Amino acid sequence: MSATAAVQEMLAGQDYIADRHIAMAIHLAQTLKRPLLVEGPAGVGKTEIAKVMAGALDTELIRLQCYEGLDATTALYEWNYQRQLLHIRLDEKSARSTAEREADIFSEDFLLKRPLLQAITRAKPPVLLIDELDRADEEFESFLLEVLSDWQITIPEIGTIRAKEPPYVILTSNRTRELSDAVRRRCFYLWIDYPEFDKEVEIVRNKVDGIDAQLAEEICRFMAEIRLQNLEKIPGVAETLDWAKVLVALHQHHLDPEVVADTLGIVFKDQHDIAQVKESLAEFLERLGVRTKMAPTATHES
């Protein structure tokens, strides 16, 4: 069995259906110990990759959610000041020298480890997910670059902490801004697009218990078509799954125009989109061949 097939199987064990190019990227990142930069539209399962990887490797997932203004004290470490103060008070009466006491309160016990430090101090290399890096600012990016290249962090009071074994790193970005070339250089690259029809059907049937084969196909055909429309927020796989679950809970076996109209809010997260789709829904469903609905009605009437 080829290496990528092995990865695909490993991911399938975690209920993740991976294309070959996804499997290849994960395989390479894992074997060559390089960070993997995953980009793609929202809701195609970028974050999911890190989760299933952690599951498959049976290791911890450490997540760093990026946001604007994220800085070292949130990403790396911070001293636990309250605890330090308390300790100083308790230690007041002791005859120890200042140097000793100083060494005391700036020891690892008083360190609050944030995700990046956590990731390099674990005995078993964890999966480090740096989510939505495009939301952090450029300063953080360059700071991150430093950590990613050396796998060591210097804390002035303690010294340099070096990772015994570098973690598996997954970075994701929604491309709201371009990441720097330096980051791209450092990483392997994986672009995930919306899944092909067949793959999406497979995902839906895999993830949604008790779904009708026909309903799954209709849902996915609807989604494939809808993604071609000029929408504000194009629904991702996450929306497909939510919708499928709802339709199953409503005991649907095919797309019923009325039920579709009522549940559009699950698929579309923008008022304009809902209005736009609602307007052309009938025509839309007809184009998708929801004659499946017509057929039973016809027999019913005859």
| Residues contributing to the site for another protein (CB under 8 A) | 2-4, 20-21, 24-25, 27-28, 31-32, 34, 37, 39, 68-69, 71, 79, 81, 84-85, 88-89, 92, 98, 101-102, 105, 139, 176-178, 181, 184-185, 187-191
CB closer to another protein out of 34 and 63: 34
Residue with tokens 């195609």: 44
Select 124 or 175, whichever has its Cβ closest to another protein. 175
In whole angstroms, the minimum distance from the beta carbon of 89 to another protein comes to 6
Q: Are 105 and 87 in contact (CB under 8 A)?
A: yes
With 0-12 / 13-18 / 19 or more C-beta atoms within 10 angstroms meaning exposed / middle / buried, residue 151 is middle
Q: At its nearest, how many Å lie between another protein and the CB of residue 184?
A: 4
Contacts of residue 168, Cβ cutoff 8 Å, sequence gap at least 6:
29, 30, 33, 53, 57, 59, 125, 126, 127, 128
Q: Tell me the one-letter amino acid at 161.
A: I
Residue 113 vs 221, nearer CB to another protein: 113
Using the minimum distance from each CB to another protein, give the nearer residue, 70 or 260.
Answer: 70
What does R_g of the chain's alpha carbons equal in angstroms?
A: 25
Nearer to another protein, 139 or 165 (CB): 139
CA distances from 186 to 111, 141, 179 (A): 29, 12, 12
- Nearest 5°: the CA angle 271, 135, 60 is 105
Strands 127-131 and 152-155: unpaired
Q: How far is the CB of 69 from another protein (least distance, A)?
A: 3
Q: Are 133 and 172 in contact (CB under 8 A)?
A: yes
Cβ 236 vs Cβ 41: under 8 Å = yes
Chain position carrying tokens 């791209």: 184
- Find the shortest distance in angstroms from Cβ 31 to another protein: 4
Cα 247 to the center of its chain, rounded Å = 25
Q: How far is the CB of 237 from another protein (least distance, A)?
A: 18
Q: How many residues does the chain have?
A: 302
Query: Measured from the CB of residue 294, what is the shortest distance to another protein in angstroms?
Result: 35
Closer to another protein at the Cβ: 37 or 216? 37
Closer residue to another protein (CB): 91 or 198: 91
Min separation Cβ 206 and another protein, Å: 23
* Angle, vertex CA 44, rays to CA 43 and CA 46, nearest 5: 95
Closest distance of CB 75 from another protein, Å: 12
Question: Residue 204, Cβ neighbours under 10 Å: how many?
Answer: 26
Nearer CB in complex with another protein: 18/219:
18
Three-state DSSP at 284 gives helix
